[in-house]
Chains A and B, each alone.
Chain A
Amino acid sequence: MKKSVLILCTGNSARSQMAEGLLRHDAGDRFEVSSAGTRPTQVRPEAVAAMREIGIDISRHHSKSVDEFAHSAFDYVLTVCDNAKEVCPVFPGNAIRLHHSFEDPAAVEGPSEAKLAAFRRVRDQLREYLKGFPQS
């Protein structure tokens, strides 16, 4: 049976959205993947663009509140916010809680090319990390 994974951050707009797309694409046969945020906003267009470059379509994702998952039990809850700069939400219960800090690509200032480069960088870091999921 597939293990259920909730990927959690604050906005559910960039990192957790890309992570959801990546994990489902790379290991969707083993994991049932969802993502959510404590303060959902909207999926960043740069996240959609960076994922499209590697052939993964997340354009239909939307930014969701954890409250949409009130009736779900998860095997794993993975937080992907940057603990040095943000405070990651703590999900209650028996789920195995994992954390890995990733910089917030949406916080990068500058021309659109520099922003997109940050999304690509974080996308690649997420993919590398998720290859080992859930071992680390």
Chain B
Amino acid sequence: MIKQKVLFLCTHNSSRTQMAEGFLRHFAGDRFDVISAGGDQGELSPAAIDAMREVGIDISGNQPKDVAKYLGQRFTYVIHLCDRRKERACPIFPGAIYRLHWDLDDPRNSALATRKVRDEIRRHIEDFVQKNG
């Protein structure tokens, strides 16, 4: 089976996209090749590591990446997790077959906000896997 390539994209690749990558790889890593990246290379959010650890997924070894690294590649799905109207630096990426947009607020480093966004991401991922897996 050929895995479908998925790119999660947000501003810094520090929290939202890292959690999304963790969930999709955990639930359906056998069906999707999962990458996450940002418009720049932020730092992995400690709150995101903790929030994911609470649900049994270890993302502590992940590295934030600049999406420019993937220019020239094509992805079946490019999933935007930020909204340009709220975050001006939220990048685009040319090379999507399907483009999805989940509007999720940047939880920054707040433990509470990160848990809330983690649960929203989980619902989106479960829905995505059910529809596309």
A contacts, CB < 8 Å to B: 36, 38, 66-73, 87-94
The interface-forming segment of B52-60, B82-90, B117-125 is B82-90
A66 touches B91 (CB 8 A): no
Beyond A70-B73, A71-B72, A73-B72, whether A90 also contacts B91 by CB under 8 A is yes
Residue B111 interfacial (CB < 8 Å): no
A87 touches B84 (CB 8 A): yes
Cβ 8 A contact of A70, one of B67, B74, B84, B91: B74
Cβ 8 A contact of A89, one of B68, B72, B92, B95: B92
Which residues on B sit within 8 Å (CB–CB) of A66? 92, 94
Which chain B residues numbered 66 to 121 have a C-beta less than 8 Å away from chain A? 66-68, 71-74, 84-85, 88-97, 99
Which residues on A sit within 8 Å (CB–CB) of B97? 67
B94 touches A90 (CB 8 A): no
Beyond A66-B94, A67-B95, A67-B96, whether A73 also contacts B89 by CB under 8 A is no
Main secondary structure, interface of B, reads: loop
Which residues on A sit within 8 Å (CB–CB) of B85? 87
Beyond A70-B72, A87-B85, whether A92 also contacts B67 by CB under 8 A is yes
- Chain B residue with the shortest CB-CB distance to A83: B88
Tell me the smallest distance from the CB of B64 to a CB of chain A, in Å: 14
- Chain A residue with the shortest CB-CB distance to B74: A70
A38 touches B92 (CB 8 A): yes
Interface range on chain B (Cβ under 8 Å from partner):
20 to 34
- Chain A residue with the shortest CB-CB distance to B95: A70
Residue B39 interfacial (CB < 8 Å): yes
- Chain A residue with the shortest CB-CB distance to B70: A92
27 A-B residue pairs with Cβ-Cβ distance under 8 Å, sorted by A, are: A38-B92, A66-B92, A66-B94, A67-B96, A67-B99, A68-B94, A69-B94, A70-B71, A70-B72, A70-B94, A71-B72, A71-B95, A73-B72, A87-B84, A87-B85, A87-B88, A89-B84, A90-B84, A90-B89, A90-B90, A90-B92, A91-B91, A91-B92, A92-B66, A92-B68, A92-B91, A93-B68
Which residues on B sit within 8 Å (CB–CB) of A88? 84
In the complex the two chains form, what is the Cα distance from A66 to B92 in whole Å? 9
Tell me the smallest distance from the CB of B65 to a CB of chain A, in Å: 11
